[in-house]
Chains A and B, each alone.
Chain A
Amino acid sequence: MIAVQGLTKYYGPIAAVEDLSFEVGQGEIVGFLGPNGAGKSTTMRILTAFAPATRGEARIAGYEVHQNPLEVKRRIGYLPERVPLYEEMVVSSFLNYVAELKGVSRANRVGEVGEALERCGLSDMGNRLIANLSKGYKQRVGLAQALIGSPPVLILDEPTVGLDPAQIVEIRQMIKGLRDKHTVLISTHILPEVAMLCERVIIINQGHIVAEEKIENLSDGSGATRLEEIFMRVVSSDRAAILAKTKKEATA
């Protein structure tokens, strides 16, 4: 459903991601892990046709993102990292606007918005002004917005950031419910979350994929701990390698 081949993105001379290749199959939930600044959000922005790649290609449902942005955007629901919302709008009218943009027919709009509100625990918040919502609720509105029109591919950039523990459990439950019907790519820092939600994990560091593993291979009863081990190992060894390389260059 998502196929990335040799994806490279430069910001000026700095490579944000370099030669990234991975695939996500239909109905899979894949965790996209990495330390801050690893290139997670950049990759997601390319996948959603928001930013262009310098090199390489990315396909969503067979459509190349740069050549067929409209077809790609019709098939994705995207929760950006910053959760941008029109603060002057009321929750339900914002979601109604999203439904309109996504081409949900007038007859189905009310049902679609109602369902999104319910799935994200926003049923009582429909008439609230977005500006007055807490961070957690804004995050939920962002999530609800991504679900509208039930797109086959969901790209969620840190979906549980800013939520309280009870909300995190709810949202995780909801994301689990998306399995099979949707293909989901989630970026996060929270390692246990990945172990709970995802079938597979891709770890990137400094713009490169450093590990790609099925969760079941990691879990020997304590999946989270092993994942943490692997994460720390690949990230720190990568750092050590880079440090050694720069040292070598400095002495040469």
Chain B
Amino acid sequence: MSSTWAVCKREFKAYFLTPIGYVVVGMVALIAGMSFAISFITHAAITQDPSAYSYTAVPDFEETFLSPYLVFCGTLIMFLTPLITMRLLAEERHRGTIEFLLTQPLRDREIIFGKYLAALGMLGTMLLVVVVNLCIMGYFVAVEPAVLVFGLLTVFLMGAACISLGLFVSAVTKTQIMSGTMTFGVTLILFIVGNLGEDMPTANPAPGSWPEALRSLVGFFYDIVRGLIVELPIDAHAREMALGIVQPVDIMYYVLFSAFFIFLTFRALESRNWRG
């Protein structure tokens, strides 16, 4: 446990001993802050005069501002996580410090969880910046605490899922650039595919003239593929949660997503013992 903490502390400090920590947090501050200011002012204008914006009544604050804003922050953090995860293991391998690390009296889990926790620490720092924006909002508008808490939890879970993916990619790549690019690529694919999936029809795409057995077979696989495309992307489970509608299945999704990639990271690090 103390070794996990030691690894975590060093990793977290390393973010701020190099420019990367400042760059990432600065980018969150800039982008999340700008979009907050613009959409908050727009929402204020809508509240003043809904008809000018073709609303019949004052729209619900949580639904039109808070939840989309939190999902936006989650997506922003999702695309910035490759910058925090790319160095975790790939840099050690590139610099050769992996030889130092792996000959210290450490268990694999102490290395992996130490690094994962450090990256979660960075995620927490980014969230703090978002919380500053939310505090400003809280000064003007009274919001339901549940929406706020679950909204932030959503952003955190999204980030944690991306970090576990990035940690795994970092464990199987040799340079930071490769690691960052691949994590970014996978995140982007998941994001795009998820948006496309929303337009996929639910009906069986096989023509009616096909034999019944073939039709049901095609339908069976189509449902699986469609289900995966709709349910797998990291942001798919965020929208409702950010509204405060929390279903165990959504939380389980993020927990399992992270657990799966951490499991793969263990196997990747372990492979040194049999790969020769």
Contact = CB atoms under 8 A, between A and B. Distances in A.
B6 interface: yes
A89 B17 contact: yes
Interface stretch (B96-104, B125-133, B174-182): B96-104
Contact of B273 (A66, A73, A89, A100): A66
Contacts of A10: 276
Interface string A73-90: 110101010101111110
A102 B104 contact: yes
B181 to A, nearest CB: 23
- A73, A86, A88, A103 — most chain B CB neighbours (10 Å): A86
Interface string B124-152: 00000000000000000000000000000
A162 to B, nearest CB: 15
- B2, B103, B106, B274 — most chain A CB neighbours (10 Å): B103
A102 B276 contact: no
Contacts, number: 70
Interface residues of A, number: 31
Interface in B1-38: 2-3, 6-7, 10, 14, 17-18
A96 B275 CA distance: 33
Interface in A191-230: none
A86 B3 contact: no
A45 B102 CA distance: 11
A173 to B, nearest CB: 25
B265 to A, nearest CB: 18
Report whether over half of chain A's contact residues are helix, strand or loop; otherwise say mixed: loop
Given A50-B99, A82-B99, A86-B14, A70 B105 contact: yes
B105 A80 contact: no
A107 interface: no
Interface in B58-98: 95-98
Contacts of B10: 86, 89, 97
Contacts of A89: 10, 14, 17
A48 B2 CA distance: 22
A27 B97 CA distance: 29
A50 B272 CA distance: 8
A54 interface: yes
Contacts of A24: none
- B10, B95, B98, B274 — most chain A CB neighbours (10 Å): B10
A82 B97 CA distance: 9
Interface in A91-149: 97-98, 100-103, 145
A20 interface: no
Given A49-B102, A52-B276, A102-B104, 15 more contacts: A9-B276, A48-B103, A50-B99, A50-B272, A76-B103, A80-B100, A80-B103, A84-B100, A87-B95, A98-B104, A100-B2, A100-B6, A101-B7, A101-B104, A103-B3
6 contacts: A9-B276, A52-B272, A80-B103, A85-B97, A86-B10, A103-B3
Interface of B: 2-3, 6-7, 10, 14, 17-18, 95-100, 102-107, 272-274, 276
